[in-house]
């Protein structure tokens, strides 16, 4: 039985990853705290993590505008990190910088993610559609035990979301029509772009993505096919 507003049951689900499937903020703060203890440095590590993530969109925008050549997300993260290390007066060797930058490869899943994905995998093809680069997404899947059928990255298309080439490129690689594919994400702008290009959409509420003091817009949006509280709820609403 189809849920209200769903004209076609999707054959495949594509997932935004950062914030939707994994807790980037909590994971990065934990890594920074461990490094701070090792180096004998005290700082506002939550602010460091938030600042690192805040640099992500402006950096991608520079690539989109042609101000920077195509760069994988690992490279953009490293550029942002260099500025933050100076700002927070954290002195690291080249190898320590490399290892810290790879913290984005070791993000932990939200408590519901592995179970929810496991349920969905039994009924649908499940794959990433992330701005993260391929190596990052593969390492993260191993670390967090995320049971993807496939990994699609902006790196494959040399375009960052919300460029149409990402959404339509992934559906083409699946040999499916856009209407046969659903994007699952915690970010409304990502979902709105996917919907514009014909994909079905599932909005997942992640109230703690930006920490307990944040006030994200978690309201249901009638433009999206479904709204869910977590990935287990997505599975339930899709009959998985």
pLDDT in tens, 76-134: 999 999 999 999 989 999 999 999 999 999 999 999 999 999 999 999 999 999 999 99
pLDDT for the residue 144: 98
pLDDT for the residue 8: 78
Q: In angstroms, what CA-CA distances link 167 with 60, 122, 172?
A: 17, 23, 9
Find the angle CA(119)-CA(121)-CA(126) to the nearest 5 degrees.
130
pLDDT for the residue 9: 87
Using one digit for the tens of pLDDT, what is the confidence trace for 128-159?
Answer: 999 999 999 999 999 999 999 999 999 999 99
Domain with CATH 1.10.150.240 in the chain: 25-105
Domain with CATH 3.40.50.1000 in the chain: 12-23+107-237
What percent of the chain is predicted at pLDDT more than 70?
A: 97
pLDDT for the residue 2: 57
Q: Has domain 25-105 been given CATH number 3.40.640.10?
A: no
Q: Assess whether the previous peptide bond of 162 is cis (omega < 30° from 0).
A: yes
In the predicted model, what is the mean pLDDT of residues 70-80? 96
- Cα–Cα nearest to 136, from 183, 164, 104: 104
pTM for this model (two decimals):
0.95
What percent of the chain is predicted at pLDDT more than 90?
A: 92
Which range has the worst mean pLDDT, 6-10, 21-25, 95-99, 194-198?
6-10
Residue 7 has pLDDT above 90, yes or no: no
Q: Report how far residue 75's alpha carbon sits from residue 137's, in angstroms, rounded to the nearest whole number.
A: 14
Using one digit for the tens of pLDDT, what is the confidence trace for 19-38?
Answer: 999 999 999 999 999 999 99
Structure tokens at 18: 């950062």
Region 12-23+107-237: CATH code = 3.40.50.1000
pLDDT for the residue 1: 52
Q: Report how far residue 7's alpha carbon sits from residue 188's, in angstroms, rounded to the nearest whole number.
A: 21
Residue 5 has pLDDT above 80, yes or no: no
């Amino acid at each position: 039985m189809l849920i209200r507003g769903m004209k076609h049951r999707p054959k495949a689900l594509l997932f935004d990853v950062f914030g939707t499937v994994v807790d980037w903020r909590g994971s990065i703060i934990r890594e920074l705290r461990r490094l701070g203890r090792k180096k004998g440095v005290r700082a506002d590590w939550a602010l460091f993590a938030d600042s690192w993530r805040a640099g992500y969109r402006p950096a991608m925008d520079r690539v989109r505008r042609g101000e920077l050549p195509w760069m994988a997300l690992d490279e953009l993260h490293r550029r942002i990190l260099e500025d933050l290390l100076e700002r927070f007066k954290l002195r690291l060797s080249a190898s320590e910088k490399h290892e810290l930058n790879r913290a984005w490869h070791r993000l932990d899943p939200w408590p519901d993610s592995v179970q929810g994905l496991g349920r969905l995998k039994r009924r649908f093809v499940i794959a990433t559609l992330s701005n993260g680069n391929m190596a990052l997404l593969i390492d993260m899947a191993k670390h967090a035990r995320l049971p993807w059928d496939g990994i699609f990255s902006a790196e494959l298309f040399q375009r960052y979301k919300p460029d149409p080439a990402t959404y339509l490129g992934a559906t083409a690689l699946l040999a499916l029509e856009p209407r046969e594919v659903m994007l699952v994400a915690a970010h409304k702008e990502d979902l709105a772009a996917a919907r514009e290009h014909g994909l079905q959409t599932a909005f997942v509420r992640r109230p703690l993505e930006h920490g307990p003091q944040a006030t994200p817009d978690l309201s249901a949006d009638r433009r999206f096919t479904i709204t869910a509280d977590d990935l287990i709820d997505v599975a339930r609403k899709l009959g998985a």
